[in-house]
Amino acid sequence: MTALTLSTAAAAGLRADAIVVGIAKGAAGLVVAPGAEAVDKAYDGNLASVLETLGATGAEGEATKVPAPSGFKAPVVLAVGLGSEPEKDEIYEAEALRRAAGVASRTLSGAKKAAFALPVQDAEDAGAIAEGALLGAYSFDAYKESGKDPKNAKAPLAEIAILGGKPRDKAYKAEIERALALTEELNRARDLVNTPPNDLNPESFAAVATAAAKEHGLKIQVLDVKALEKGGYGGILGVGAGSASGPRLVKISYSAGRGKKHLAFVGKGITYDSGGISLKPAGHNETMKCDMAGAAAVFAAVVAAARLKLDVNVTGWLALAENMPSGSATRPGDVLRMYSGKTVEVLNTDAEGRLVLADAIAKASEETPDAIVDVATLTGAMVLALGNRTFGIMANDDAFRTSIHEVAEEVGEPAWPMPLPAHLVKGMDSPTADIANMGERMGGGLVAGLFLKEFVGEGITWAHLDIAGPAFNEGGPFGYTPKGGTGSAVRTLVRLAERTAAGDLG
């Protein structure tokens, strides 16, 4: 685990492997960002010129190393790009600081300590740098022999010191504590997404949640196959019917006390999705261990809310199953009786996420929370619509959808509001059941949202986050985002809980 401190030490006298400074694109060329004045002075004010000579432009994602000036205890100065220099009287945006700090941490993997001399105007800036640096220092090497070697040169950056902060100031301390709790839980979600499906199945996922609940004083209830059968959870049971690993429904709850606002988060937790009888073709199933990313995000958000002692009640529902083909698997054409009592004709067993979510949403509705938010790697259609880095937001309340969009943008998670066109509902008509699990092919992501809406309790505000694009990064790392599991939606859910606790969401 990467250590994090605030430091008032001068950059020159700090023992570290590198000093991290920010650079930006100015109107007249490269500029050194605030926070690095002492470092620039040690280069006689020529640090920008030196870096320009080496090809640095200040663009986001850029990292340039130069030898440290004479008299510095750190041997290297690492300059990271912040993008365009802010206008006069404006400051660097929090997301630019997060990304630059993440780039620095990734670049310095294997180092023992780095001092971050990035722009810190207030406590929020220090929190953003801490968050980006800690997320950028993530690695998943549990299954590599090299990961067991303490001398491994690619181990994460071991210690981060943020310069320019106020270690004794309550606001600064709170931001650092928040960053530590949030990133530890987000990185736990990344670990779960990255864990191979032969080690992470519904039962073992439930065991991880149970252990965390015990550690942090949360209430937890795990429904196994027998309990699911007794309760009539036909959607979850139908999806898990083909697997040797039985499904689970996990309820994990953080309570701030009676009379507080109550948020219910529901996560899709398909620990491996083969498509079932509607089998996915080769090329589409190799990364399907990530189909439980929604449940991982919900789990992480609830634990983070508890660690931050937020003044809001948060309940997480993890709908866990493995979707496999076998003689006992649900077939296309089968009809499932859901927990809500509705019947669903299964036209495609690879549209399974909506089935487990429907049961969990219906159950969550019984507690009449102030709002339900479900999170799921639900449809390829959403990836086609929004790409690999942006999740879609659908809701039965336009104001709530707007609020979630604002929250997502605030924390640096690209998202976009999507509609729920009523005319698409008819495409899910079934001659046999109340509804089919498939509708029109065009607008498939919206159809999935409309299906879920059918299972939301009357009068309950609800939103659906389709994170199919950003949940798993198959490309190279960027900013503070690694290859593999990203922890998408965790920060949005936590900030939503924080804003609800503050009374900002009604």
pLDDT in tens, 309-365: 999 999 999 999 999 999 999 999 999 999 999 999 999 999 999 999 999 999 999
Q: How many CB atoms lie within 10 A of CB 248?
A: 27
What is the predicted pLDDT for the residue at 151?
A: 58
DSSP structure class, residue 59:
-
pLDDT band at 398 (very low <50, low <70, confident <90, very high): very high
For 392, the enclosing helix (H) or strand (E) is strand 391-395
Distances (CA, A) of 362 to 137, 152, 291, 461, 463: 39, 48, 21, 13, 14
Distances (CA, A) of 35 to 40, 79, 227, 462, 504: 10, 12, 58, 43, 33
For 140-155, write each residue's pLDDT tens digit. 999 988 656 655 557 8
Of 197, 438, 236, whose CA–CA distance to 318 is shortest? 236
Backbone angles phi and psi of 333, in degrees to 5: 105, -15
Which residues are bridge partners to 372 per DSSP? 264, 462
Amino acid at 428: M
pLDDT at 104 over 70: yes
Q: Are 389 and 470 in contact (CB under 8 A)?
A: yes
Q: Are 137 and 101 in contact (CB under 8 A)?
A: no
Which residues are bridge partners to 263 per DSSP? 314, 371
Q: Considering Cα of 115, then 117, then 122, then 125, what sign does the dihedral take?
A: negative
Percentage, residues of the chain above pLDDT 70: 98
Amino acid at 269: G
SS3 string, 178-233, reads HHHHHHHHHHHHHHHHHCCCCCCCHHHHHHHHHHHHHHHCCEEEEECHHHHHHHCC
Q: Considering Cα of 271, then 233, then 303, then 301, what sign does the dihedral take?
A: positive
For 363-377, write each residue's pLDDT tens digit. 999 999 999 999 999
Buried residues in 427-436 as b, exposed as e (16+ CB within 10 A)? ebebeebbbb
| Global pTM value | 0.96
Average pLDDT value for the chain? 96
What is the predicted pLDDT for the residue at 145?
A: 82
Q: Are 467 and 376 in contact (CB under 8 A)?
A: yes
What is the predicted pLDDT for the residue at 494?
A: 98
What integer is the mean pLDDT of 264-279? 98
DSSP structure class, residue 481:
B
What integer is the mean pLDDT of 382-395? 98
Kindly list the catalytic residues: 280, 354
Both tokens of 41, joined, read: 């002075």
What is the predicted pLDDT for the residue at 152?
A: 53
Sheet holding 343-345, edge to edge: 335-337, 343-345, 435-436
What integer is the mean pLDDT of 224-231? 98
SS3 string, 352-366, reads CHHHHHHHHHHHHHC
- Three-class secondary structure of residue 69 per DSSP: coil
For 162, the enclosing helix (H) or strand (E) is strand 159-163
Angle (CA) 68-71-72 rounded to 5° is: 45
